[in-house]
Structure 1
Amino acid sequence: MCFIVTGCKYVAQMYPKQFALVVHPCAVGLILAGTVFFTSVEMFYVVPLIVGTEGLLYKIAWLVTIFIVFNLLGNMLACYRTDSSVENLPIDRQVPTPEEEHLWHHCDYCQVLRPPRSWHCKLCKSCILRRDHHCIFTATCIGHNNYRYFFWFLVYMMIGTFLSLATHLILFIINEDMRKNYFLFYLVRLDFTYLQKIYEFGFQFNCINLILVLNVYSFIFPLIMLGYQIRTIYLNTTFYTATSDLKYNQGPRKNFKTLMGKRGLWTFFSPVIRSPLLHDGTQWETKYLDINNC
């Protein structure tokens, strides 16, 4: 994971324009294609083998799926469309007041003073308020204004891929005919003779196991990223300052509301729920100073 992040960061810094032109469409397309693919496999193949297609459970499964996909793609779109750049601030808030000026820092790229916790992004070509990192899967920087959407985007990606894995496990347990199509069946039995005759297994065996492997990787990635972000919320840090800048930590509850807005956990249910942030991202309360002095 660290190797991938470091590699992407290096290439993005060296070739920002080419990186954005190539990597952003590929990464966004991967999310869209993966969502359509796993949704189709689960709802038209795996789930019908578990509960059928006529009963109430299948209808409930569709409602849950629609809810997850709506929040996954909705938060992804809202993250992209929500501007966290300093330039999005009112003109009078883009310059410090005399008492705040010593807390702002100079941006070598923009050649102006910028608020605390804002940093320049070469890909976005602007300074981002409380910049966390640049996300290739939403094709934008994650900052003060759109962090909420990014966090729930990760949460719903993890929920969706977890439920997809869970349906495979349930199918493996309850459907004796399908069980032998999973290599898990042979691993659990410590029966490795199937490796000698794997070419004899049909198209269904190869497809279902490939899907399962892809599902495992699709689950692990958001799970790891979510681990980073839970720590970020808990300590009110950022992806790149996870352990080096703890002075903004005001406790888990206040940190959560600072990043998610006044409605807090209600934002889990939909990206369209309005949740005003506590401030505009230029003034940050610390353990040592009040908000008017930091």
Structure 2
Amino acid sequence: MKMFTPKYPLIQKIFSKVQCYTIVFLLTPGIFVFQMTVVFPHLATTLDASIPKQVAHICLATFCFINVVGNMIFSILIDSTVKRPNKEGTFCEYCRMLRPAKSWHCRQCNVCILKRDHHCTFIARCVGLYNQRYFILFLGHVMVSMIYATYYNYYYVSAKFEDHGWIVSAFRIINPLLRFIIPEPMSIKDMYVVYLFMNVGLIVWSGCLFIYHLRNVVMGVTAYEAKYSELMNSTNWRANLISVFGTKWYLAILWPLADSPLPDYVKWE
């Protein structure tokens, strides 16, 4: 019997892993460290913030960081692969076994995934039954954290320039040709403006993905099924949400370590 061998270039696997580790170990902690060691002390001094306000800011920033990193790590570590053949379902030509409904084979991971939503290159793993909760909450907390950070970064960048000079810097970054008209040399202040742009970009990126995937959850479909409008049904939206975020969803959205088990009717393995 002929076996099917999925082809996935090694260079793509390496790039996916490097991208994942960069986000986990460099980008996310780097943003938090910059906020807490550069932006926060400067604003606390400039705005003469009181001790209670500083403590509140530190607590909120730490809460955002824990939720972003926690949900990101769990979405990477938690496995949603089909561990054993099912008694009924669709037949996978690659794994040569029956798999539960809504389970699909991923050519990148080379395994069948329970309730496969999609393969995410940013976390180098498929999003499926058991890690979908963490992936969506990761996007949601990134969006909230970036909105929170951008609010303070705006005042931080404004304090570095005089008379709204950061706006001129922003135009020079967007259109390099303006450097011939505005001869002022580049400085470290321009990098702060780039950082502010990065914050806004992350808000748009995470916000769009969060809204898209949350809508699919409410409608009871995966990313693949979302292509077919006739499969969408928001009538059982509450049950659809519980099937992803668990029976204690109200704790899951606040704390990545919260125990929020899935209801029995979605445990297909």
> TM (normalized to structure 2)?
0.83
* Contact 1:182 1:208 (C-alpha < 8 Å) held by counterparts: no
* Structure-1 residue corresponding to 2:23: 30
Q: Which residue, out of 210, 217, 220, partners 1:236?
A: 220
Please give the residue correspondences for 1:137-286 in structure 2 after superposition, counting only pairs within 5 Å: 137-171=122-156, 175=159, 180-183=164-167, 195-196=179-180, 198-201=182-185, 203-244=187-228, 246=231, 250-279=235-264, 280-282=266-268
* Structure-1 residue corresponding to 2:3: none
Using a 3 Å threshold, how does the CA distance of structure 1 residues 107 and 63 change in structure 2: closer, same or farther?
same
Are positions 1:68 and 2:64 aligned together?
yes
Supply the distance in 1 between the matched residues of 2:213 and 2:168 (Cα, whole angstroms). Answer: 32
Supply the distance in 2 between the matched residues of 1:22 and 1:147 (Cα, whole angstroms). Answer: 23
Question: Which residue identity does 1:28 align to in structure 2?
Answer: Y
Q: Which residue, out of 63, 66, 78, partners 1:82?
A: 78
Q: How many residues align?
A: 254
Supply the distance in 2 between the matched residues of 1:176 and 1:83 (Cα, whole angstroms). Answer: 46
Supply the distance in 2 between the matched residues of 1:141 and 1:186 (Cα, whole angstroms). Answer: 38
- Runs (4 or more) in structure 1 with deviation over 6 Å come to 184-187
**Structure 2 alignment gaps of length 5 or more:** 1-5, 172-177
Q: Deviations over 1:261-293 (max 9, x none)?
A: 11012101211111110135429xxxxxxxxxx
Question: Which residue identity does 1:215 align to in structure 2?
Answer: N
Q: Deviations over 1:57-98 (max 9, x none)?
A: 2222121111111111111111122111111xxx5xx322xx
Q: Deviations over 1:163-214 (max 9, x none)?
A: 12111234467x4855645226887xxxxxx855644255232111111122
* Contact 1:131 1:142 (C-alpha < 8 Å) held by counterparts: yes
Using a 3 Å threshold, how does the CA distance of structure 1 residues 157 and 51 change in structure 2: closer, same or farther?
same
Supply the distance in 2 between the matched residues of 1:250 and 1:27 (Cα, whole angstroms). Answer: 36
Using a 3 Å threshold, how does the CA distance of structure 1 residues 82 and 186 change in structure 2: closer, same or farther?
closer
Question: Which residue identity does 1:221 align to in structure 2?
Answer: W
Identical amino acids, percent of aligned pairs: 25
> TM (normalized to structure 1)?
0.76
* Contact 2:116 2:127 (C-alpha < 8 Å) held by counterparts: yes
**Structure 1 alignment gaps of length 5 or more:** 1-12, 188-193, 284-294
SS in 2 for 1:110: coil
Using a 3 Å threshold, how does the CA distance of structure 1 residues 14 and 95 change in structure 2: closer, same or farther?
closer
Q: Which residue, out of 31, 44, 55, partners 1:51?
A: 44
* Contact 1:231 1:242 (C-alpha < 8 Å) held by counterparts: no
Q: Which moved more, 1:158-167 or 1:240-249?
A: 240-249
Supply the distance in 1 between the matched residues of 2:149 and 2:199 (Cα, whole angstroms). Answer: 7
Q: Which moved more, 1:26-35 or 1:140-149?
A: 26-35
Are positions 1:124 and 2:109 aligned together?
yes
SS in 2 for 1:272: coil
* Contact 2:157 2:193 (C-alpha < 8 Å) held by counterparts: no
SS in 2 for 1:74: helix
* Structure-2 residue corresponding to 1:287: none
SS in 1 for 2:231: coil
Q: Deviations over 1:229-262 (max 9, x none)?
A: 1111110111122142626755221110111111
* Contact 1:116 1:130 (C-alpha < 8 Å) held by counterparts: yes
SS in 2 for 1:275: coil
